[in-house]
Amino acid sequence: MPRIFYPFAALAAVDVLWMAVRPRPSDRPGRYLLFGAVAATLSFFNGTAVGLPEIRFVPCVYFLGVLLALDLVARLLAVTPGRTLGALAIGAGIVAWVMSSIGFIPSWITWNYEGLERKPSYSLLTGILGAVHGKITDPRVAYENSPLHDRFGSMRVFEDLPLLAGRPTLEGVLLQTAVTSPPIYWLQSQISKQGSGVIPGYSYPNMDLAHATARLALFNVSDMIAVTPEVTGQLAADPHWQRIFQQAPYSVFHLKNADGHYVRVPRYRPVILETTRWKRDFVRWFATDSMLEVPIVAAASVAPDDRDHFPLTSSSALDLPRERLPEDCRIEEHLDHMAIDFTTTCPGVPHVVGVSYYPNWQVEGARRVYLVSPAFMLVFPDGPHVRLVFRRIAADWLGIAASFLGLGLCLAALVRPATAAEPAPGLAAALDAVRPWALGLGIVFVGIATTWNVTRDYGAGFFYQRGWKAFAAQDYRTAMWNFSRAIELGGESSTAADGTFFRAASLLRSSDPAGALAGYRAVIERFPESVWVAESHYHVGLCLRQLGRRREAKARFRYVMVTYPGNRWAGFAAEQFRELRAQRRSLRG
């Protein structure tokens, strides 16, 4: 809580206490404000569960707290002689308190609103924009997320690349509205020294430009803006990228041999994924390098009549069948702001359109549009020409009609104000009887939901710490119980990943290699970006060896050696591999 709010919070608390001790009908405005503050507080604790950043509810609580403080002041002034003079004194006191508490806000306002052109860094910005200038139909431009961009007026300045440089980019202002947001911000972390991780409920990778290049190409990115030495160094050392602009500390890199097309035939046939959590499975798919060439489609989004397009199915986003598709298809595309046209030499073959899926996209020349990983559109052309147009659908027209109806009701009320009407006595009595039950059930539901979400947000860390203490004390039974609770409450978080790993370690130390094997595999499959993945692969090999499955253990140790060269677990895997090979030779001898 900021210092400037302290006196208002104290006055608001006194006002709430006053209403609780001496309730009166005149308290209704104060109760209304209190209800709003409580609702905003509950929304803070429940926001993450529905995908909203909880911090957005904090200003509502502060604002309503100020109004509650004002409610108390109004009560006091009502019984004070010379109310006008008292009100003026309070107003002067507020101004004095605010002025004495001001910090960076005035300079921040000036910095943000004086305009890009007045910044000393404007010439640097124009150089960067000139290097990537183009048309909306050109490939996308990616950029490193960094607070260093604030030199231009805002660290989010490059979200305006379509306006400033004419080129499309990856990120947008309304990050909760796009179905592509989870993979986009996952990729942002992979191409940035400081990723924002702004979409709650997902784990995010560390910076790794070498592995990010394939994902950038998937999004038809041909240029990348870098600012930190770490990202710039990785791109400069990568033979896939070429520097085309440099003015310290910024560089712009171009992806050599970039495809440059938004419409493509994937290398492998799309696979139907049997899943009830398609968003998370799509992100898991996106996080797995070996899966990127095999698009997936959620089974629930495919009607039975359309199943003939999808002969391949899977129940795991990380274990997909592969069927090669033609590689000699020639595609000519034309993109506009609200339409996508393309001609193809491969009718009937799946075509992925690298633009965010949305129900408003209507297709001509294909049966329908499917949502395909990571969050693109998929069509099966009936002939050589396909056209997609972004049109209003029934939901849009319903919303427009409702808006006009609401406006009409407001205008009608201005012309002929309606008089308040009491409900019929029977209806009033029924409402009075139902109200306590409805209110009680509502309170119970909100209480249970809030308790669960608070427990989930804070309980995972609590149980993990208890599990770790038991693990360190070699009390593996207690450790496993606590780690299991951390996994249940942690969802897809890093705490759940840590709990999954140490639960598997507890099983291994409890002489249960079969259970540990399943646990380590769960780390690899559920948390592919966890820091424990390399170590889990090694321990999978160790469990297989203890179970007598030496051939599989040897293959797993070889996988660790090849996949994680230089990692200490690759060294341990090499030792195990040599031991297994020596044992095999001794058995032959």
In whole angstroms, what is the distance from residue 70 CA to residue 236 CA? Answer: 59
* 587 pLDDT tier (thresholds 50, 70, 90): low
Q: Would the pTM count as exceeding 0.85?
A: no
The encoded tokens of residue 383 equal 């002939």
Query: 3-class DSSP state for residue 327?
Result: coil
pLDDT computed for residue 453 by the predictor: 87
- Do the beta carbons of residue 253 and residue 224 sit within 8 Å? yes
Position 589 pLDDT exceeds 70: no
CA 56, distance to chain mean position in Å, is 16
- Do the beta carbons of residue 220 and residue 140 sit within 8 Å? yes
CB-hemisphere CA count at 13 Å for 85? 3
pLDDT digits (tens, 9 = 90+) for 319-349: 899 999 998 899 999 998 899 999 999 999 9
CB-hemisphere CA count at 13 Å for 542? 24
Position 377 pLDDT exceeds 90: yes
* 50 pLDDT tier (thresholds 50, 70, 90): confident
Quick one: which H or E segment has residue 362?
A: strand 361-364
pLDDT computed for residue 127 by the predictor: 95
Give strand ranges (E) for 62-170.
140-143
Mean pLDDT in residue range 552-570: 88
- Do the beta carbons of residue 65 and residue 33 sit within 8 Å? no
Mean pLDDT in residue range 11-26: 91
Top mean pLDDT of 18-32, 196-210, 240-254 is at 240-254
C-alpha closest to that of 479 among 456, 500, 454: 500
In whole angstroms, what is the distance from residue 416 CA to residue 404 CA? Answer: 18
- Do the beta carbons of residue 220 and residue 139 sit within 8 Å? yes
Mean pLDDT in residue range 515-530: 88
The encoded tokens of residue 555 equal 């293959």
Q: SS3 for 417-462, per residue?
A: CCCCCCCCHHHHHHHHHHHHHHHHHHHHHHHHHHHHHHHHHHHHHH
Position 106 pLDDT exceeds 90: no
The encoded tokens of residue 1 equal 């809580």
Please, which residues have CB within 8 angstroms of residue 364's CB and are 6 or more apart in sequence? Answer: 386, 387, 388, 389
CB-hemisphere CA count at 13 Å for 13? 6
Q: Which amino acid is at 407?
A: L
pLDDT digits (tens, 9 = 90+) for 118-145: 999 999 999 999 999 999 999 999 999 9
pLDDT computed for residue 588 by the predictor: 63
pLDDT digits (tens, 9 = 90+) for 264-280: 999 999 999 998 889 88
Q: Which of 223-232, 525-534, 579-588 has the lowest mean pLDDT?
A: 579-588
